[in-house]
Amino acid sequence: MCGRYAASRRPEDLAGIFEIEKWEPEETLEADYNVAPTKEVYAVLDRPLKDADDPRPVRQLRTLKWGLVPSWSKTPEGGARMINARAETVHEKPSYRRAFTSRRCILPADGYYEWVTGKQERDLEVEGKKKRPRKQPYFVTPADGSVFAMAGLYEFWRDRTLPDDHPRAWWVTCSVITTEAETSPLAVAPAEGPHSLAEIHPRMPLMLTQDRWDAWLNPSRTDPEDLRGLLAPPEPGLMRAYPVTTAVSNVRNNGPELLKELAAPEEGTLF
């Protein structure tokens, strides 16, 4: 799954990476090393500009809220739970299928966090000596340092309790598409700990390699079966994972120190 990630790249850098044509400086976000559901995040999308005479899609960097609210939803309360869409069923689930065919985006990240229950903690849990096992967080990121381009969906939701000209009348929300985690060896694995992503968690965000960006963002591609071909995982061996401080488990903590690689898992969380 993907429940927390880091996104520290500046909009100017993202504009160069993704060939952005339009972004609003007032929507600039601070670097966020602990992105959690309901936060504002960057999304890359192709869409005609509002009120423009030219109908062609324009590549934009937009700020969206993480946690998709379907357009038909009566309230936005469920958005905080709809942070992930499964690649295997996204084309058929009522909450996602319309966005899948017409509102796809890329959510740029440095990488994502995932938590592993250490063997010592699991043993204590089995013995009934510990009710809440302590988990070791790992940071998963492209081994070559490139952007982690997560496949995403976005949706518009109208708050009918507000007038049309209210700045919060429209919500634009998003979700991360996930797929089965790789079972092949990591490109760079920690000396002590998991050696594949599947050993960390059975699910992972679907990473889009650069050769798929244009096809994924192209709004003229609307056939579900055609689009499902873009959901194939990238070739294995592109990722690295390493243990980071348990401070990341508290969403109030934020800063580049959360990405610092630990020499070994913290005490009590050994894999």
Question: Which active-site residues does the annotation give?
Answer: 2, 114
Interacting residues of 219 by C-beta distance below 8 A, sequence separation 6+: 46, 47, 57, 102, 103, 104
> In sequence order, what are the beta bridge partners of 197?
none
69: Cα separation from own chain's centroid: 16
d(CA 215, CA 213): 6
What CA–CA distance (Å, rounded) separates 98 from 114?
A: 29
Of 55, 49, 52, nearest to 20 (Cα)? 49
